[in-house]
Chain A
Amino acid sequence: MQGLFKNTAGQFLRLAVFASVSILLTYIDYRDDTLRGFRSALGTAIVEPTKFIATLPYNIIQSARGISTSRETLQANLDNLGVRNQRLQTELLTLEGLKAENTRLRELLNSSEKTGTESTVAEIITIDLDPFKQLITLNKGSSDNVVAGQAIVDAYGVMGQIIHTTNNTATTLLVSDPAHSLPVQVQRNGFRTLANGTGHADELNLMHIPSNADIKVGDIIITSGLGGIFPKNYPVGTVKDIQSEVGRPFLKVIAASTAQLNRSREVLILKSVNKDNEKQTNGTNQENQKP
C-alpha cells in the first residue's frame, strides 16, 4: 500500500540495521583482512568491467597517438634506447662480478641473506581514485599470483605496496600516502628511521630524528628491510630539507622520493621477502611496518 502515511517506524528500523552493518563492516575491515575474499570477488565481478569501460576513451586516444607518431620520433627513441642499453650492459658486466664476489664473501661470513629478488612487470591503469589518497591501480592481479603485501618499485626507487587485489588488477598504496610508513636508513651511516607519506606526491617525512643526529641535506635514504615487506637497500629518496623548530625534540626532515610516483608507467612487483608476510596484507595497518 503506497500512500501518504508510510510505515516510518519500519524505515527507521531499516536505517538503524544497515547503519550498524556498515559500521561493523568498517570496523572489521579496519582491524584485519577477514573481508579480503569478499572484496576481491566483488571487485572482479563489478569493478573490473567498470574500470575497463572508464579507461576506454583514454586508451583509444593513446593508441591513436601511437599510430600517428612520426617515424623520426620513433627512430630517435630507438637510438636513445640503444645507447642506453649499451651503457647498462657494460655496467652489468662489472655488477655481475661484484655480485659473485658478494655472494662468496657472504658465504664466508655464514650469512643467509639473499641478494636479488624475483619480480613481475606490471603497468599502471589510468583511472582516478580518491584524490586525497595516494593510490594507483596495476594491471596484474591474483590470477598472476600477485598478493596483497607485495612491494612495488620502479626504475628509480620504492613506490609502495599492494593493498587489495582482484583477478586482474591490484590496488597499490604509494609511499607518499599519509597512512603509509616505511622503515628506512641513511645510506651514508646506517641511521635508521621511518619515512611517512605526506599526501604530496614525491615528498616523504622522516620521523623521530633527534636534533643531534648525523643527517644532512643530500643524504640518500634506502630501505632498511625491517618490517619484512620491502627488501633491503632499495633507494627511497634524498634528504631535501631539514628544519629544527625551537621547543621540539625532533627535527623536521623532508625527503624527496627518487621513484617517479606520478610519472612512471611500468613498475615491478617484487616477490615477498619472507613468506610470513603474505598474511600481513592490510597496507594501512602501520604495525606491520614499524621496526
Chain B
Amino acid sequence: MKKYGVILLTFIFALVLTIMPMPDWFKYLRPDWLLMVMLYWAMALPERMGIFFAFCCGIVLDVTLSSYLGQHALAFIVCIFFMGKLYQGIRVLPELQQSITLLFFFIAYKVMLLWQYGMTKQAPESILYFFLSAFTSAVLWPWLFILLREIRRKFIHTVA
C-alpha cells in the first residue's frame, strides 16, 4: 500500500502544478503535468497504471478545471491505452528520443481535447496557442523522467 502512496503523491503534486498561479506569459506554455506523470507511470509500471485509474484522474481534472465531466477523462484513457501497447518500445529509448516520441502522445491528447471542445462549442480561438503546451511538455519530459525514475528506484522495488 505504501508503494501506491508515493505514486498518488506525484499525481497530487502534478494537479497542484496544473492550477498554480503563474506569470501571464507562461499561461499558454503550461505543460500538461498530469498527463506527463500519468504517461510516466504507465510506461514504468504498466500493470499498476490502468485505464480505470486514468479515467478517475481525468474526472478529477475535469472537476478542477470546470470543463464538462469526461472531456479530459476520454483524452487520458486513449493516451494510456496506447502507452499500454507501446511501453516496451518507448522505455528503452534514450531521453531525447523518448521526448520526441511522447510529443506525439501530447499532441494526440490536445487533438482529442480540441475535438471535444469543438463538440461542446468551446473551441479556442487560436489553435496555434492551444498546441503550445504539448511542445513545452515534450521539452520538459527528460527532467520529469529522471526525477520520477529516481523516485521509483528509491521507493518502489518491483521486478517489472
Contact = CB atoms under 8 A, between A and B. Distances in A.
Nearest to B130: A132
A173 B86 CA distance: 40
Nearest to B117: A132
Contact of B21 (A2, A126, A164, A284): A126
B99 interface: no
B30 interface: yes
Interface in B39-71: 47, 50-52, 55, 58-60, 63-71
A121 interface: no
A129 interface: yes
A126 B129 CA distance: 22
Interface string A102-133: 00000000000000000000000011111111
Residue with the greatest number of chain B CB neighbours at <10 A, chosen from A26, A38, A133, A284: A26
A29 B70 contact: yes
A54 B47 CA distance: 31
B120 interface: yes
B125 A199 contact: yes
A58 interface: yes
A15 B21 contact: no
B103 interface: no
B68 A26 contact: yes
Contact of A18 (B51, B60, B129): B51
The residue among B68, B73, B84 with the most chain A CB atoms within 10 A of its own CB is B68
B121 interface: yes
Contacts of B116: 26
User: Shortest 10 CB-CB distances between A and B: which pairs?
Assistant: A25-B70, A22-B70, A22-B74, A132-B124, A26-B70, A131-B27, A29-B68, A127-B19, A25-B69, A54-B20
Interface of B: 12, 15-17, 19-22, 27-28, 30, 47, 50-52, 55, 58-60, 63-71, 73-74, 77-78, 81, 84-85, 116-117, 119-122, 124-125, 129-130, 160
Given A50-B19, A132-B124, 11 more contacts: A18-B51, A22-B70, A26-B74, A39-B69, A47-B63, A127-B19, A131-B30, A132-B125, A171-B66, A178-B125, A199-B124
